[in-house]
Amino acid sequence: MRKFKPFSLNLKGELVEITRPQVMGILNITPDSFYGCSRSFDTNAISRRIDEMITEGVDIIDIGGYSSRPGADDISSQEEIQRLEMAMNIIHQKNINTPISVDTFRADVAKHAIATLGAHIINDISAGLLDKAMIETVAQLKVPYIAMHMRGTPATMNNCTNYNNITADVIYELSERINRLTLAGVNDIIIDPGFGFAKTLEQNYELLHNLEHLHELGYPLLVGVSRKSMIYKALNTIPDDALNGTTIVNTIALQAGAAILRVHDIKEAHEAIKLTQLTNNQI
């Protein structure tokens, strides 16, 4: 069992000390995300979802305007920006001070989200591989950057699972991205092993078993497994019934030292964090 290691993030010029694992709540501004209950596609639904997240104590709100599930509709950058604007306008109207992360792999969307809409963090499922301008853009914006491991694209990733050793290969491929980021001048990096992206069911659990090894990279670790197929397929169920499985996997990730849990269910994630920390305090 690995204890949480505190870290800091530069959020709009303010150095914020993170002293416990964080809960990142998912706000999908899309009509076609894999988990139907996470879709908020009109202003009333978005407003209700934001209120729920704040009430349950969300630490970071992660807004996504582009669904990355296989088979999802492709949309233009402009439509993605319009979806993000809809959510960010509501957040500003509510005077919410919670840090905002934007889930995008497009550099122009990232720039608009930070410079115009007032977001704080960029969460990129491709770690810069899907848009060559992303790394330079994030470096110029001077914001924290979540670099997720993936191969291929959301449409092709299921055919990109040929690893020699899943854990060693993910560490190596993330280290290459980290090297690019640091050379470009990106200082605040968070790594995400990319559960469910270009990985088979068995590879996901092998990677989970070896998750602690990713700390060799030297950066805070984000884990996003909430209601994913690695859980509901393993349990022969559906995303709607995968909360218990999600909590179990999140707890395993926390025991391996995860710094951020990206989830649909905020209250339950906080409970997992509290009980895991109580256990760690006995060590």
Q: What is the largest CA-CA distance in the chain?
A: 51
Q: Which residue has the tokens 């090297």?
A: 179
190-220 tens-digit pLDDT: 999 999 999 999 999 999 999 999 999 999 9
Active-site residue 39, yes or no? no
* pLDDT tens digits, 65-80: 987 766 567 789 999 9
Torsional sign, CA 274, 249, 211, 194: negative
- The encoded tokens of residue 165 equal 């050793």
Looking at residues 245-264, what average pLDDT do you find?
Answer: 98
Report, as an integer, the average pLDDT of 19-38.
Answer: 79
Residue tagged active-site, from 94, 233, 262, 274: 262
Phi, psi angles (nearest 5°) of residue 261: -110, 125
146 Ramachandran zone, left/alpha/beta (phi>0; psi -120 to 50): beta
CATH of 19-280, picked from 3.40.190.10, 3.40.50.620, 1.10.510.10, 3.20.20.20, is 3.20.20.20
Q: Span 142-171, mean pLDDT?
A: 95
Residue 262: active-site member: yes
Q: Which of 106, 111, 199, 228 is catalytic?
A: 228
Indicate the domain borders of the chain: 19-280
Q: Any residues with CB less than 8 A from the CB of 244 and at least 6 apart, and which?
A: none
Query: What's the pLDDT tens digit per position in 98-123?
Result: 999 999 999 999 999 999 999 999 99
Q: Work out the average pLDDT over 232-251.
A: 97
Which pLDDT score, from 0 to 100, does residue 164 have?
Answer: 97
CB atoms within 10 A of CB 71: 9
The model's pLDDT over 35-60, given as tens digits with 9 standing for 90+, comes to: 455 455 688 889 999 999 999 999 99
